[in-house]
Amino acid sequence: MKSGFSRTTPTTVDTRPSRGFVPTISLWLGRLLAGAIVVAIVLVGGTAFRVWQVARIDDYSHADAIVVLGAAQYSGTPSSVFEARLYQASRLYELGVAPTVITVGGKQEGDLYTEAASGKAYLEDKGVPSEHIIAVETGSDTLRSIEAVADTMRANDMSSAVLVSDPWHSLRTRTMASDAGLRAWTAPTRTGPAVYTRESQFHGIARETGALLWYQLTHFSADFPYTARQ
């Protein structure tokens, strides 16, 4: 005998709370923030690796000029940082890497000598003929110095340069020189405070990583203070 009641299939009710608009936005913002952090870590890490990698390059190819980046000097006497760079430049000149050495750098307020002039005097004492040295007595940071050197080289029909600075400074100087229209490579000093200790090496890489990223972002210089003993 058939019942008068029909059997119906029970419906399932979703009792899970629905995700609201604000939690969804928060979730995506969190993901974006995490992604940005990962990108920043990769960018900074990759740049630091390139700074370290280029610091290891010694390119003694023939060039029109050897360019020595300035550093502190005291009443005409180069600091130990600057002296290490100048000594490397004198060696490159003796090896015949280039017929001309260019020193560059202005002076701080109250100084009697420019970095370029004190560098030229040092090189003369090392036996480099005065007529083979060009002192570019301007530039208060790396970018202005490189731009001044590029102008001077063009005025003297020179277009290629081997850059001498601290190892960690190599990538940034090479990048700026290329942007200024020069064909440039690096042969950094292997002596001096910049390479004495692991601490100074770490500081140099960190310093140049930040300065290079800032330059690539803004095309302005950022010469952070040097903390190694000079």
Predicted confidence (pLDDT) per residue in 89-137, tens digit: 999 999 999 999 999 999 887 788 999 999 999 999 999 999 999 999 9
DSSP 3-state of 193:
helix
In whole angstroms, what is the distance from residue 139 CA to residue 117 CA? 12
pTM (2 decimals)? Answer: 0.81
- Confidence tier at 225 by pLDDT (50, 70, 90): low
> Residue 184's beta-bridge partner residues?
161
What was the pLDDT predicted at 26?
76
- Confidence tier at 229 by pLDDT (50, 70, 90): very low
Predicted confidence (pLDDT) per residue in 10-54, tens digit: 555 555 555 555 677 777 777 777 777 877 787 889 999 999 999
What was the pLDDT predicted at 38?
76
In whole angstroms, what is the distance from residue 67 CA to residue 116 CA? 11
- Residue 168 DSSP one-character state: G
| Paired tokens of 151 | 């102008």
CA 105, 200, 49, 44 torsion-angle sign: negative
